[in-house]
């Protein structure tokens, strides 16, 4: 067991791994993250518009109404997940 731990310790030694070093600073990361959030927000808005349009043209058909409502609910849940992810990432970035 000790031999296996030593093996992994040698593999994971940061001095022996040739991982490229990044030069991005915190402001650049924040800018990229904000662009990604804006794109996801725009897509969520587009999905809400499409779902509302589908709801409007459903003409009372129960399956089409249910599909449109489900699309609205899933989009809103996605927006909540995006907001929580943004909160977590901003918290972690602020701690560094």
Name the domain count of the chain.
1
pLDDT number for residue 2: 66
CA 96 to chain centroid, in Å, comes to 20
pLDDT number for residue 16: 64
pLDDT number for residue 30: 82
- Are 64 and 54 in contact by the 8 Å Cβ rule? The answer is yes
Residue 87 falls within a domain, yes or no? yes
Structure tokens at 69: 């409502």
Residue 13 falls within a domain, yes or no? no
pLDDT in tens, 38-72: 999 999 999 999 999 999 999 989 999 999 999 99
Task: Show the beta-strand stretches assigned E in 1-96.
Answer: none
For residue 62, the enclosing domain spans 24-95
pLDDT number for residue 47: 96
pLDDT number for residue 89: 84
Task: Indicate whether 90 pLDDT > 70.
Answer: yes
Residue 47 falls within a domain, yes or no? yes
């Amino acid at each position: 067991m000790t031999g296996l731990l030593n093996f992994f310790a040698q593999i994971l030694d940061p001095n022996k791994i040739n991982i490229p070093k990044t030069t991005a600073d915190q402001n650049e990361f924040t800018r990229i993250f904000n662009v990604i959030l804006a794109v996801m927000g725009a897509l969520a808005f587009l999905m809400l518009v499409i779902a509302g349009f589908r709801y409007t043209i459903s003409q009372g058909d129960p399956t089409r109404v249910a599909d449109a409502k489900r699309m609205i609910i899933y989009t809103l849940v996605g927006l909540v997940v995006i907001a929580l992810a943004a909160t977590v990432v901003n918290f972690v970035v602020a701690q560094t």
